[in-house]
Amino acid sequence: MAVICAAVSYDIYQFVSMPGEYLVVEGEERTLNLRLPFSIVATSENEGILKLNGTSITTEGTSVSSRHPLLIQTTAIGNTEIEFRLFGIIPLKKMTVSVISPSKVIPGGHSIGVKLLTQGVLIVAVADVTAIDGKSYNPSAQAGLSVGDSIIGINNIKIRDADHVLELLSNCKGEEITVEIKRDNKVLLRHVKPVKSQEDGKYRIGAWVRDKTAGVGTLSFYYPDTGAFGALGHAVTDVDTGLMLSVEEGEILESRIASIQKGEKSRPGEIRGIFFEEENKLGYIEKNTEFGIYGVLSKNLENAYYSEPISVALHHQVKEGPAYVLTTIDKKIERYSIEIQKVSNQYYPEPKSMVIKVTDDRLLESTGGIVQGMSGSPIIQAGRLAGIVTHVFVNDPTRGYGIFAEWMIQNAQADSGDSTTKVDKTE
């Protein structure tokens, strides 16, 4: 008896632990692999959108057998909330189901140069300064500045770049300055007293800063009607601190492959590209997120494999099995075979959605598998954009991670406004 009760309790726990929201594509059937050893009653606030196991869900309640997997069938676009009750009496679960038309985009695969200007300047190191009195000081550390902070203002003047910081420090003549920094989406004010360096006679605060970064990656997708694009599948981070860069502005540019360092065990490979900052601009970057960079194209692009948009797969539509990637390792986009070896059970955006393995002999011969610069390459499965290549396994360059395309699409459609709202005037 105890074993039976435990099994039933576990089944109920699984049922109650289901996500509170489900996205289903119009015309799709979706199976919920959950079983309960007794009947449940489902009610819907909006009739005519869904069926469960072939039976329409009504506002008055529809009895559903739960001894078999629940089959959700869509009949119209819209949203509805389903409530499940045990024996029609005891509330078990409420679930919102949205029936949507599939998002459609044109896959990328284009090699791109990525140029970012940070918001202000990023502190990449703090160090002692030997002053003209021969003593060592560390004004930044003493004032509470840290690696990863972005200096966005000095004495109420907005910082343009690293040279601008030097100019403002020179003008202060050693007087205490008010430094405005951005840390974890908060704006903080700190007071710093520069010291005159023994080395060159210039005023310093003991902070090494960077104001821009550049590299090569791959375009993931774009909307042909609006030009909105996504790329990389992961954030652009600072090479020294590993922290995500706060973007002031940025551009993507056409990139020409210069050379390829083949990937080997414990030594990731790399695609090296050439791009010219003043020529062949493709678009403008508006935001840098955990799930890639996003912006708007400034010129029309073509994909030889896809002249028309394709549907974006929802996460539950991605399956283990064959697929292919679109990427550029020479002069044009090519299609290469891969295998999706593992699909994570993710209900909310997370970066490592799937494990992929390169199976195409041509790509293995050229690159050894997945290399730096391929980040952002679209993964196509069953005619849909299933995911985006993000990382390589250090100990096995033939394998790596991908993110569900659905998560990137959500970020592309999200508000790109700055979330900084709070100013902390702590001394």
Q: Please write the tens of the pLDDT for every residue from 253-289.
A: 988 888 888 888 878 888 887 776 566 889 999 999 9
Domain boundaries of the chain, sorted by first residue: 2-101, 105-119+213-422, 128-205
What does the pLDDT read at residue 183?
A: 87
DSSP letters for 391-415? EEETTEEEEEEEEEHHHHHHHHHS-
Q: Which CATH number fits domain 105-119+213-422: 1.10.540.10, 2.40.10.120, 2.60.40.10, 3.30.930.10?
A: 2.40.10.120
Determine contact, residues 349/407, Cβ cutoff 8 Å: yes
**Alpha-carbon torsion 274, 279, 281, 286, what sign?**
positive
- Which 8-state DSSP code applies to residue 102? P
Half-sphere exposure of 48 (CA within 13 A, CB side): 3
Cβ neighbourhood burial of 141 (10 Å; 0-12, 13-18, 19+): middle
The CATH architecture one would assign to domain 2-101 is: Sandwich (2.60)
- The catalytic site residues sit at 234, 360, 375
Confidence of residue 22 (pLDDT cuts 50, 70, 90): confident
Average model confidence (pLDDT) across the chain: 83
pLDDT, greater one: 131 or 13: 131
Percent of the chain as helix, strand, coil, to the nearest 5: 10, 50, 40
Half-sphere exposure of 384 (CA within 13 A, CB side): 18
Give the contacts of 92 (CB within 8 A, at least 6 positions apart): 12, 15, 16, 40, 84, 85, 86
What does the pLDDT read at residue 36?
A: 58
What is the value of pTM for the model shown? Answer: 0.78
Cβ neighbourhood burial of 166 (10 Å; 0-12, 13-18, 19+): middle
Domain 128-205 part of CATH 3.20.20.70 = no
Residue 107 scores a pLDDT above 70: yes
Please check whether the two domains, 105-119+213-422 and 128-205, share a CATH topology.
Answer: no
- The residue to which tokens 């309790």 are assigned: 9
